[in-house]
Amino acid sequence: MCHILKNIFHNIYTFYSLRFGNYSLLCWDTLSAFQSKRLYTNGTVLFENIALGESKVCAIVAGVGTASC
Protein backbone atom coordinates (compact mmCIF):
# COMPACT_ATOMS: atom_id res chain seq x y z
CA MET A 1 0.00 0.00 0.00
CA CYS A 2 1.30 3.44 -0.90
CA HIS A 3 0.17 6.73 0.62
CA ILE A 4 0.48 10.08 -1.15
CA LEU A 5 0.93 13.45 0.53
CA LYS A 6 0.84 16.69 -1.45
CA ASN A 7 2.96 19.57 -0.23
CA ILE A 8 0.64 22.46 -1.06
CA PHE A 9 3.34 25.09 -0.56
CA HIS A 10 5.75 23.63 -3.12
CA ASN A 11 3.22 21.79 -5.33
CA ILE A 12 5.10 18.50 -5.07
CA TYR A 13 3.90 15.04 -4.15
CA THR A 14 5.63 12.69 -1.73
CA PHE A 15 4.85 8.97 -1.75
CA TYR A 16 5.21 6.86 1.42
CA SER A 17 5.14 3.08 1.61
CA LEU A 18 6.15 0.16 3.78
CA ARG A 19 8.59 -2.22 2.14
CA PHE A 20 7.51 -5.84 1.71
CA GLY A 21 8.04 -7.48 5.08
CA ASN A 22 7.11 -4.26 6.94
CA TYR A 23 10.63 -3.60 8.20
CA SER A 24 11.32 -0.37 6.25
CA LEU A 25 9.40 2.85 5.70
CA LEU A 26 10.36 4.52 2.43
CA CYS A 27 9.46 7.80 0.74
CA TRP A 28 9.84 9.27 -2.73
CA ASP A 29 9.23 12.83 -3.89
CA THR A 30 8.53 14.05 -7.39
CA LEU A 31 11.49 16.45 -7.41
CA SER A 32 14.11 13.73 -6.97
CA ALA A 33 13.10 11.66 -10.02
CA PHE A 34 11.45 9.21 -7.59
CA GLN A 35 14.69 8.20 -5.90
CA SER A 36 13.73 6.47 -2.66
CA LYS A 37 14.74 7.60 0.80
CA ARG A 38 14.58 5.22 3.75
CA LEU A 39 13.00 6.87 6.79
CA TYR A 40 13.08 3.82 9.06
CA THR A 41 14.44 0.28 9.03
CA ASN A 42 14.42 -2.38 11.75
CA GLY A 43 14.28 -6.14 11.29
CA THR A 44 12.69 -6.82 14.68
CA VAL A 45 10.15 -3.97 15.07
CA LEU A 46 7.77 -4.26 12.11
CA PHE A 47 5.25 -1.61 11.07
CA GLU A 48 1.77 -1.78 9.57
CA ASN A 49 -0.99 0.70 8.72
CA ILE A 50 0.91 3.92 8.06
CA ALA A 51 -0.89 7.25 8.40
CA LEU A 52 0.11 10.71 7.19
CA GLY A 53 -0.48 14.08 8.79
CA GLU A 54 0.58 17.67 8.24
CA SER A 55 4.05 17.13 9.69
CA LYS A 56 4.22 13.46 10.80
CA VAL A 57 4.25 9.98 9.36
CA CYS A 58 3.05 7.37 11.86
CA ALA A 59 2.60 3.62 11.82
CA ILE A 60 1.26 0.89 14.09
CA VAL A 61 3.85 -1.53 15.50
CA ALA A 62 2.78 -4.94 14.19
CA GLY A 63 1.62 -7.36 16.87
CA VAL A 64 1.79 -4.70 19.59
CA GLY A 65 -0.77 -2.14 18.47
CA THR A 66 1.09 0.98 19.61
CA ALA A 67 1.71 3.94 17.32
CA SER A 68 5.17 5.18 16.40
CA CYS A 69 5.76 8.52 14.67
Residue range 24-61, pLDDT digits in tens: 888 777 777 777 788 888 888 888 888 877 777 888 89
Q: Can you give the pTM of this predicted structure?
A: 0.63
On the question of pLDDT at 1 being above 60, the answer is no
| Whole-number pLDDT of residue 8 | 45
Domain ranges for the chain, please list them: 2-68
Mind spelling out the 3-state secondary structure of the chain? CEEEEEECCCCEEEEEEECCCCCEEEEEEHHHCCCCEEEEECCCCCEEEEEECCCCEEEEECCCCCEEC
- Candidates 4, 55, 2; CA nearest to 29 is 4
The band of 66, judged by pLDDT with boundaries at 50, 70 and 90, is: very high
